[in-house]
Amino acid sequence: MQSAIFGQTIAHPPKSCDCDLEGILFDRDSAGLSVRTSPRGRVSAIIRAVEDGEQCTFRVIRHEHGWLKVRYAFCDTTKTGWVYGRLVGLWLNRTSSPLYQNPDRASKPVSRISSFYPGEKTDHPALLIGCQNGWLFVEAKESTGKPVRGWLSPQDQCANPYTPCAP
């Protein structure tokens, strides 16, 4: 599926797809993140940061219609559940990265997005919408603040909330 976003034709991710990537919780709700039994299902757990500034990371194993199936550690056990995708994001592996029309470096770049390294204050993480073959379909902001969507390559992804990833 493709659509025109800001004058660019962007390939959307499949409605559901297996993933194998890391993500960071960016939910600012102090009540915590609801983990569900299925997309839009009943709440099975609430994840809260233990201390101010602490960030929770997930292993994202699937996406379906804007929801992410995640694996996370809790009290020395591993649990699996579903979270709303726009509450999970990641940083960039470098200070500026291109977003592509398709999940392929040979496709046309549609924009460049910027990100600060983890630990620096920013309101511009790349939020996860979907995935395909290691690539992420994200929503982010250009340095001007203009919202943009596109495909972020695996080499440009960083899900470490505390230190920069090596490019």
Whole-model pTM over 0.95:
no
Q: What share of the chain is helix, strand, coil (3-state, %, to 5)?
A: 5, 55, 45
Q: What is the pLDDT of residue 69?
A: 93
Q: What is the pLDDT of residue 87?
A: 83
Convert the pLDDT of each residue in 105-141 to its tens digit. 999 999 988 765 444 445 457 888 888 888 989 888 7
Predicted confidence band of residue 89 (pLDDT cuts 50, 70, 90): confident
Quote the DSSP letter at residue 156: G
Pairwise CA distance, residues 51 & 67, whole Å: 26
Q: What is the pLDDT of residue 38?
A: 94
Convert the pLDDT of each residue in 16-71 to its tens digit. 888 888 888 777 777 888 899 999 999 998 887 655 556 677 889 998 988 999 98
Q: What is the pLDDT of residue 119?
A: 45
Determine the topology of domain 2-14+88-158 in CATH: SH3 type barrels. (2.30.30)
Q: Look up residue 145 and give its amino acid.
A: G
How far CA 73 is from CA of 16, 78, 144, in Å, comes to 24, 4, 37
Domain ranges of the chain: 2-14+88-158, 16-85
